Every structure is written in structure tokens, then in C-alpha cells.
Amino acid sequence: MDEFFDRRYYGNETGTWLIALAIVVGITSLLLLVQHVLVRRFDARAKRTENLWDDLAVALLKRTRFYVFLLIAVLIAVRVLRLAVVFDRWVEVATVVLLLFQAAVWGNTAISFWVRRLTASRQAVADTSSATTIRALGFLAHLVLWAIVLLMVMSNLGIDITALVAGLGIGGIAIALAVQNVLGDLFGALSIVLDKPFVVGDFIAIDNYQGTVEHIGIKTTRLRSLSGEQIVVANADLLKSRIRNYKRMYERRIQFGIAVVYSTPHATLSRIPGLIRSAIEAQPKTRVDRVHFKEFGDSSLDFEAVYFVATPDYNAYMDIQQAVNLELVRVFEAEGIDFAFPTRTIMVQSSSGSSPLADVAGVSGIDRHAMRGTSS
């Protein structure tokens, strides 16, 4: 039996190898037990809280691979062994490679975690287009992460990656120049998803175009206009424009004018602002800002009113404005107030300079300007 333990393999007795093996098994088992306990505790805590970091910690612990624990145990066990330099080098390379792969697994877990969270939040509000964009960007993030890890692994294995990196860099620049518009739209989609200037279902105006957002894709955003056609806008062009999001309007400001004839008495004119204010305040969800006798027009005395409707709904605003207009017509009829309309006065004068032959008023359809003509 002593002979068995005294046998030497690679410079170490059999007993020493068995001690190292026992250390590997013991530490690996202990680390697996610790992982199991921590996962149970963090998982129970994460279910009681709404903190996303708890959920992420649980996901990372669950994705910690067995070979990481085995690697830690081996690194401790080799301290009791006397190994040649070549073995130390291989242990070092294996350690770096395994840790890089574990870092890639953790990175993928974190990316997948946030992609699922963001996708679920978009699907909860029926924003399926943004959810698709997020998944596509998540795939690109996975691809970039694994590319970086593989390059680092190759470098640690002694492979010269200088030419490969240079080639990838030159190729990447060439591809980027060739598809710069696509990349611009891709980053535009990322900006829209993260900054959320609008979401699917919002009614927006872009330059001279208006419509409801139907789809937010990786390259384009699609609107459905009021007249029915679909408007397709590149994401890069979209972010360069001034966007007006009517869906996020919380109230509407309305400004309108009323014109009465010049023959209206002063006492009646002084009552008109109060009549307009009462007509507006009689409607629900309205708040009067101001009502004023604004100016002396070309053929009328002009009043201006400004009020707010406490709803962004356009149909509700039009219903209220219609009710206000009808009430003003009724009140003005009862008060004997006449609405003004564009008029002109034509003065016809003979060549001898005698008094006007005709004074015609109330001719509509001209631009509110007085005209003077001379007969021949």
C-alpha cells in the first residue's frame, strides 16, 4: 500500500495527487452548494420585491457554469502539487479561456434579461413593432459580444489576431460606408426605442405629413394618414425632423374671433365679452383664458376669445366649439346684435364733381377695402 502512495507521476506522489483530487471534489461540491443556497434565497427575495437587480442577480447566479467552480477548485488544488512550467502555462491559458467564456455567458444573460423586460413592457402596451426592434438589437448585441470573446480567446491561445483585427477593421469600415444609410436608420430605431418620442398608436405630425404610428421597424417607421394611405419614413430622416405628438397633448387651446357691425351701440359692445365668456363656461371641460374687444376691422368690430378644452380629443373639441357657436347665435339674436360680414361702399361721382349718385352698402365678397370710382 505504501508503494502505491509512493509512486510518482509527473513529479508528484500518488498520495499528493489524491489529496489534490479530494480538494477539487470538496471545493467544487461546496461551491455548488453555496450556489444552490444563494439562488434559493435571492429568488425568494426577488419574488417579494419589484427591484429588477434582484432578478438579474438570480439569473446570473443560475447561469454560472459548473466549469467555473471546477476551475476554482483546480487552481486551489494545484498549489499542493509541484508541476512543470509547461503545465503552469496550460493551467493559466485554461483559466483565462474558461473565465472569458463564463463572462460571455453572463453578458448574454444580462442582454437577454433586459431584452425580455423591454419586450414585455412594449407588448403590454401593444407596441409589437418596438418589441421586434428590441429583439433585433439584442441579437446584434449577442453577436458583437461573442465576436469580442472569441478574438480574446484566440489571442490567449497564442494565435496572432493582428492581421485578423486589421482585416475586420478595414472590412468593417468598407461595409459601414456601403450601408451607412442602413446603419443610420438602425441607430435611429434604437434612439426611438430608448428615448420614446412616440409609440405605436400615437398621432404625430412630421413636417407636412400627419398620421397614426402603425409600425416602428429597424429601418423605417410607418404612419397611417387621415386620408387612408400609408406613409413610410426612414428612421434617420424622422429624427432629423420636428415631431409633433398629438397623442401626448393633455388639453387643447382654442382661439376664435367674432365680428359685429359698426352700428352696434357702445352699451351692447361692452356686454359682448361677458356673453362670449358665459357661452364658453356653459360647456363642460372648458377654461376661459381671455375675451377682448380686439380691434376695429375694415368692415367690423372684432372680438377675440381664447379658451382651453381639458381633453386632447379632437371630436370633443369640435363638439364644444359647435355648442359655443350655436349658443352665441342664440344670444346675439336675443340681444339684437348683428354679425358683420365683409362689405364695401361704392361712391359713384360725376365728372363735374357733384355729390355721390349712389351709396351702396352690404355688397359682400370683396377684401374689406373701400373703392372710389369716377364716371366718365
Give the contacts of 46 (CB within 8 A, at least 6 positions apart): 54, 55, 57, 58
Q: Is the pLDDT of residue 359 over 50?
A: no
* Res. 275: pLDDT tops 90: yes
Do 166 and 214 lie in one domain? The reply is no
Mean pLDDT check: name the lowest of 23-37, 195-209, 361-375.
361-375
At residue 360's C-alpha, the angle toward residues 356 and 364, to 5°, is 145
Task: Identify the pLDDT of residue 140.
Answer: 77
Does residue 82 sit in the same domain as residue 214?
Answer: no
The larger pLDDT score, comparing residue 164 to residue 65, is at 65
Are 77 and 31 in contact by the 8 Å Cβ rule? The answer is: no
- Other CB atoms within a 10 A radius of the CB of residue 206 amount to 19
Average per-residue pLDDT in the chain? 78
Q: Is residue 357 situated within a structural domain? A: no
244 and 257 together in one domain = no
Residue at 66 is within a domain:
yes
Mean pLDDT in residue range 78-92: 68
Tens of pLDDT along 105-153?
A: 888 888 888 888 777 766 555 555 566 667 777 777 888 888 888 878 7
Is the pLDDT at 241 greater than 60, yes or no? yes
More confident residue, 49 or 355: 49
Quote the number of domains for the chain: 3
Q: What is the pLDDT of residue 372?
A: 34
Q: Are 229 and 263 contained in the same domain?
A: no
Rounded CA gap, 105 and 145, in Å?
10
Instruction: Write the CATH number for 331.
Output: 3.30.70.100
Residues 136 and 186 in one domain: no
Range of the structural domain that residue 286 is part of: 252-335
Domain shared by 60 and 127, yes or no: yes
Q: Mean pLDDT, to the nearest integer, of 222-242?
A: 86
Percent of the chain beyond pLDDT 70? 77
111-125, 204-218, 337-351 — which one is most confidently predicted on average? 204-218
Per-residue model confidence (pLDDT) at position 363: 42
Residue 347 lies in a domain: no
Whether residue 15 sits in one domain with residue 160: yes
Q: Are residue 24 and residue 147 in the same domain, yes or no?
A: yes
**Residue 62 neighbours by CB distance under 10 Å:** 13
3-state DSSP assignment of residue 326:
helix
Domain boundary among the residues 200, 222, 248 is at: 248
Which carries the bigger pLDDT value, residue 114 or residue 91?
A: 114
Q: Are residues 156 and 95 in the same domain?
A: yes
The residue ranking higher by pLDDT, 314 or 271, is: 271
Q: For residue range 286-315, what is the model confidence (pLDDT) as tens digits? A: 999 999 999 998 889 999 999 999 888 888
Using pLDDT thresholds of 50, 70 and 90, give the confidence band for residue 373.
Answer: very low
**Stronger pLDDT, 336 or 51, i.e. the higher one:** 336
